[in-house]
Structure 1
């Protein structure tokens, strides 16, 4: 990927489709980050918005300028996360690229830890430790508690909500393909030993309610299956699962959580609540 006027800093890319209610808090948390060694630019890509997402993003420009950081807002007429990534990358100048969802709240140390972890010429990918948040829905609360015990959450670097890579890593593919699961595709373009988990945390909100949870989880399963079908060579980079805690042990420790988890998983495979929309929100 050609980079114009590159600087040795960090570019944070935020795709935002009708995210006016979530984006200000995301930007506030980002602006509260600990100091970084190099310059920082933040690029909000407002894509296909019918609300005032772009206006609310621009309202944060003075706060970033006060830190000596750059905040730019790009507006695209067409919605779509992959198009937003491509447009944001075309404008980005950083040596480290951070891909941040508009509903995620990062902790102050995360950016600086990613900057340090991804420095150098070797291809590297990184993310922090997700703290999955819920707002009180009974099903969501129990499902989330058990989901946190799965191998995806306990091993490796999940990377959902926020992930980062250096330019050497990003050079492994061209434009983002038209796929559902961008985070899976990005993560599996790196071998397990190339993926770095930094200790800083970030908050990622879980979708609330049984039916929305099923729709989103079905879409996520479809996204992983799509990557496996279109890019089978990437699946060799998945994390090993031979040392995972058995399901029955986890179920004994949390029988109610296991029951809710199984109910959601069974409904995912039932011919109900199906949606033709590839872009069901993750929360």
Structure 2
């Protein structure tokens, strides 16, 4: 049995979890997993980063509110969020555990995916996006009263938060993780991107339109990022060749997308044309919805 991590010596409730262990860390925080005593099932727990101490209670409330809104999402291709908590000012999220890691893990380990599998996983992602972009969600208006909003934009879709797990038929299925996190950080002023100001996000899988106006980005940004993730599945590369040093955000705004067939990996011409045309809407964002792109992908194969 794994030892309880020393980094979390006093997390309420987690001492009761069996086999509680650290899985990894990323831009949003650290991820742990263990057997949840409430369900006796394996769950993942994400502890988020951010200055949410006792002196910043308002930011913490705003952050948790956005996570709780996203918690209402229930779809086979969205990682289920079971509950939101807080420890020492750090919000955490108890989530569905996906046993086969991320799309990044898979491609780094095995190389570019076969075309049929890459498209099938992307169809899963687009199904999840189509649902989330239209889902009725309860939120609070400026007066603190409950209202129903329709749809949520992910804002940071990329291969590391496309998680893989066996489906009921035994086939590998893709699920989108971290819905609500980008918006939660934006709500407390930690993720607003401007050309000259503080920048957060993942430039390799972000359209230029999102880098220019992060706060008001719409569902088209997620469609672009889903296509960029498909590009990665097919080639093992991000759509742009960005420098490792220097101002990567300025480079994003100046660097064109490399046509998918220029990566030297065989891709059917019709699929390559669809990928390239979708990613070509870099500053205007794709006109297709997630559902329309899903249907187009199923047509080209």
TM-score (norm 1): 0.28
Greater relative contact order (Cα < 8 A, sep 6+): 1
